Structure 1
């Protein structure tokens, strides 16, 4: 059985290690996972109630068009329902965009380092990924513009960027969009949109009126706390969404996910409280990192990328033995780790463990 030649050497996506696996491997009773940027405060009580009510309908297929959720989200975003598409997480929307618009030999531009799913899906379709190095952890927008050729079809801007947490401002984004040819799609991945408090951050939805080539991705996995249900969405011009829908599988989002997301939208007080606590957590962790003499990128999502000045993988393993799971293994940043901002208790435990590890693991010379 012969696979596509382009997938043979593709790396398999490595999610953060699960808590249960670490407990079993290391014989630990208490493990804190700060590796996958999950919401430490769970989800809205309204979402839990909606899930419970929906349990009576498990024998029925979900609404393939997610009509009720689409209408609720369209009202929340002040867009038309045909401008929205839902997926099994925003990851699926990424895959669908690439399936719909890229053919072998096409080029797609992204940052290096950024969310790996862009490149993986492009290569599955035989497209060529052009990676433009970050500058101080931030997108080099001019460098991305300079990389455009007559083969360029899609440009990806992860904002805040995963894993560095840096942002592109609205002024920077508008200048960039003004310079991108109209036939090239720009996908703005805003998975951490609701966490950002910086006033310069783009109000991106209204920009679609000026830039019909703009596609915006968001998710219910992060601040809404519905990661287990796998539901994200894309927003774009109706014509673009119609084309993406042509390659979408039927029933790609479940009944529980649709019901929970619809209920979660109603509880913006929960979102605001999570944003406030996350901001407090960022300030606390950054203050402690300053005390420890460690540098980090400005954090605008619910995670911080830290220069531990030691092998990130070694620090990861040492933290793991202390019951703290973080994320290492960034090709362009081998001496860095990414840590999710947790609850106050989790953040305290992380800093305590990190201080011990810094004393135990030798710096890279």
Structure 2
């Protein structure tokens, strides 16, 4: 193939071409981590699950309470008002409304220590319930429940009824204030194809409801179910970066990670204080019958500085593990 030089290209044309290339690269590097108040394009990595997607025992962190919750109080969805997001938010705090879409639920209180079916819906900009969702990472809806002090975590994949009502099978929650997150991609209407993360709070009364555990100190290593998980990287808020995660057991590298949500691990993060949400994607997808490890690289762009609690989920031997650790973002 013969290449021809272009010695007479106008300097301004060359500058424009370089600028366009830089812009394209910036778009390519844009991360999937996002504040819950902003739209989130989750790209192609998966965070659904291939087996027992809605199992209420989807994993807990070594320091966390078992996530999920108590008695449901009704089957309708519109009640229990939740403050809408400011049109010009000054923080990365989550909200129930974004781009005309609103997360609704008639459940504002749950009973401690009792599993529950938490029902919710998404209202579209035209006021109707959204029923058309795009499959994203093998699931149409990804649902999270996180205690306000980040000591409890659940990641579930609820079922939707024909009327657009979703039901998430929550396991028993400890007393306190919990925040729920619905991560989805509308497949019709305004913003079709663009990911959103909407959030509401739910109260679990009981002894210790007002107590808050201190966030564990930032560390690059944690253990869960006999596995040692090591995270390396120094993310800076608003900048594209990488986190490298290594898996070991009894001092030996782990190479039998099984596919989970079309990747070999799933990583979400929540910021201490305002509970902003970020979803970090592995840079390698998993083959259906393949195995992975001992290291994975995650594309990370955190929306704000501060201390973030990371929840890393991975599967071995058919069992789902959830490791938690704290990461400081500059």
* TM-score w.r.t. length of structure 2: 0.24
Higher helix share: 1
* TM-score w.r.t. length of structure 1: 0.23
Higher strand share: 2
